[in-house]
Structure 1
Amino acid sequence: MNESPVIDENPPPRSWLGDAHLAAVFLTRLPLPDAGMGDLARAMRAFPLVGLGLGLGAAAIAWAAGGILPPVPAALLAVLALVLATGALHEDGLADLADGLGARGGREKRLEVMRDSRTGAFGVLALVFTVGLRASALAAIPSGWSQCAALVAACALSRALIPAAMQVMGPARPDGLGAGAGSPDATIAATAAGLGLLACLAGLGLSGTLAALLAALAAGGAVIWMARRALGGYTGDVLGAVQQATEIAILLAAAGVLS
């Protein structure tokens, strides 16, 4: 999540459909019509809706592949579908943050490393683990409805928590995503979180949702703590890492509940 969209200082009011369109253009690489300039901070309320759509698409891949392939290759194809649909947006953020945290030096040095387009050893290892953990967790879940529920819950709730992460941290630097998009207010963050929890409840039930939420808060909280300590706040890369960490945690929790 590195790129800084150009935001109109006085955007026209957007409907939920308009916010969902802008959120989908920002979060995915799907061939969508240009959303134009708008209030991305407000559109973040639709992040879990975009996640729900991504989860359903990945679930369809997992369902189809599960009928002809063993669980692990089928799960890897579902994860690949998510990577392709998002253009590895969040994975790139996770890799950059891993490289930054692994760099020797102070805050400015870490931020400089994170701006570098090259991926170092820490970034490569982070990518290996995010793909491996998600695929292995998904493979442990029975194919069919259970995998669909887990993917929808993980994709929706992990993106729903991005605005919440921006509530508890300030931008680490004056340019980049924070300066360009602005910070969503508490109402937007609460709306997004509520929609993400509803998606979880629909698929995982109350006990599964509680396990997924606790796991997501622990994983996301760990990333937030490290980012505040090492960088002084969030960047687009930090938010991408929050999404990846919480998605992994939710899938692992779902594997524990559904398997």
Structure 2
Amino acid sequence: MSNDSQPSRQSPTGAQLLDAIRFLTILPVPDSDRAPEPDWLTRAMTFFPIVGVGIGVISAMVLLLGNSLFGHGLAALLAVAASVIITGAMHEDGLADTFDSFGGGWSVARRLEIMKDSRLGTYGGLALGLDVALRATALAQLPLWAALAALVACHAAARATPGFVKRKLAYAGEISAMKVSYAEEPMRKDERVLVLITVALAALPLLLVSPVALIAGLGFGAALAATIATWAKRLLGGYTGDVLGATEQMFEIGFLLGVAAVLAS
């Protein structure tokens, strides 16, 4: 007798992809039929760049539509706004909290306390304003097809950074269930390889436009992300969830600035 009333069980890969979409975006996804495992977020990080590709494609579609309606400058701002909306400003929140913490705290304990405060301070507000302005302005400097390719590559590559940062740094936040989910279990070698393959495929359109621009984007992005990670190690002793969000945002800024440095029209 058929048991159609029972929900179909998701494969581990499918469940991890849904976890990544659920964690990184506000997009509706089916509920998981699996009990959450302690390392669920680390396993989901394997699929962060894939979700980044989707975010980049949506942002690129907004850029393309906005360009036909309003011109390139406003379209670039709308494309950035689209990514903010899709992700629920998750990474931007981490960036603001990180800069408020680093700028306003005089001890590790105080910096961690500021980082947990939901209020937006001067340093965080300035960081957010410059973040959006730099990304939108850099994007507006690019020829349309280069901008579309850069968006997809940027969002995929930026979402690979948290997994690599947490592999290099110790966890500095409070011990909690969430901490166990991504701090105690590193990404496996096969997962890191899949992340790199995804980023490489996402970067292929930009590679065809300009290999030099792609290299510049990756170099600038990695440099800014590494700066935040180094800063976090010195001021906190390691990373937190907010720091991971900040490194993602700094990579986006650096990537677009690097591409614009080569291809700005």
Q: Give the superposed CA RMSD.
A: 1.7
Distance 2:154 2:88 in 1: 18
Deviation by residue 1:73-115 (Cα, 9 ceiling, x = unmatched): 1111111100100000000000000000011320000000000
What secondary structure does 2:69 align onto?
coil
Asked if structure 2 preserves the Cα contact closer than 8 Å seen for 1:56 and 1:152, the reply is: yes
What secondary structure does 1:29 align onto?
coil
Q: Which runs of 5+ in 1 are unaligned?
A: 1-11
**TM-score normalized by the length of structure 2:** 0.87
Distance 1:214 1:186 in 2: 24
Deviation by residue 1:169-195 (Cα, 9 ceiling, x = unmatched): 111024254333344324123431332
- Alpha-carbon deviation of 1:236? 0.6
- CA 1:79–1:196: 2 relative to 1, 3 Å: same
Residue 184 of structure 1, aligned match among 183, 186, 199: 186
Given residue 185 of structure 1, which amino acid in structure 2 is its aligned partner? M
Asked if structure 2 preserves the Cα contact closer than 8 Å seen for 1:220 and 1:246, the reply is: yes
**1:83 is the counterpart of 2:84:** yes
Aligned to 1:210: 215
**1:238 is the counterpart of 2:243:** yes
Distance 1:166 1:198 in 2: 23
What secondary structure does 1:67 align onto?
helix
Asked if structure 2 preserves the Cα contact closer than 8 Å seen for 1:161 and 1:189, the reply is: no
Asked if structure 2 preserves the Cα contact closer than 8 Å seen for 1:163 and 1:192, the reply is: no
- Alpha-carbon deviation of 1:256? 2.2
- Alpha-carbon deviation of 1:72? 1.9
Bigger mean CA offset, 96-105 vs 195-204: 195-204
Given residue 159 of structure 2, which amino acid in structure 1 is its aligned partner? R
Distance 1:78 1:226 in 2: 30
Residues 111-150 of structure 1 aligned to structure 2 (within 5 Å): 111-143=112-144, 145-150=145-150
Given residue 217 of structure 1, which amino acid in structure 2 is its aligned partner? A
Asked if structure 1 preserves the Cα contact closer than 8 Å seen for 2:42 and 2:181, the reply is: no
Asked if structure 1 preserves the Cα contact closer than 8 Å seen for 2:220 and 2:258, the reply is: yes
Aligned to 1:195: 198
- Alpha-carbon deviation of 1:128? 0.1
Given residue 255 of structure 1, which amino acid in structure 2 is its aligned partner? A
Residues 63-102 of structure 1 aligned to structure 2 (within 5 Å): 63-102=64-103
Bigger mean CA offset, 128-137 vs 27-36: 27-36
Distance 2:73 2:174 in 1: 43
Asked if structure 2 preserves the Cα contact closer than 8 Å seen for 1:94 and 1:123, the reply is: yes
Deviation by residue 1:217-259 (Cα, 9 ceiling, x = unmatched): 2111100000000011111100000000001111111222333
Aligned to 2:255: 250
Given residue 182 of structure 2, which amino acid in structure 1 is its aligned partner? A
Asked if structure 2 preserves the Cα contact closer than 8 Å seen for 1:137 and 1:251, the reply is: yes
**1:21 is the counterpart of 2:18:** yes
- Alpha-carbon deviation of 1:13? 6.5
**TM-score normalized by the length of structure 1:** 0.89
Residues 144-159 of structure 1 aligned to structure 2 (within 5 Å): 145-159=145-159
Runs of 4+ in 1 over 6 A off after TM superposition: none
Given residue 169 of structure 1, which amino acid in structure 2 is its aligned partner? L
**1:107 is the counterpart of 2:108:** yes
Distance 1:32 1:150 in 2: 27
* Identity among equivalent pairs (%): 40
Asked if structure 2 preserves the Cα contact closer than 8 Å seen for 1:48 and 1:159, the reply is: yes
Distance 1:173 1:114 in 2: 10
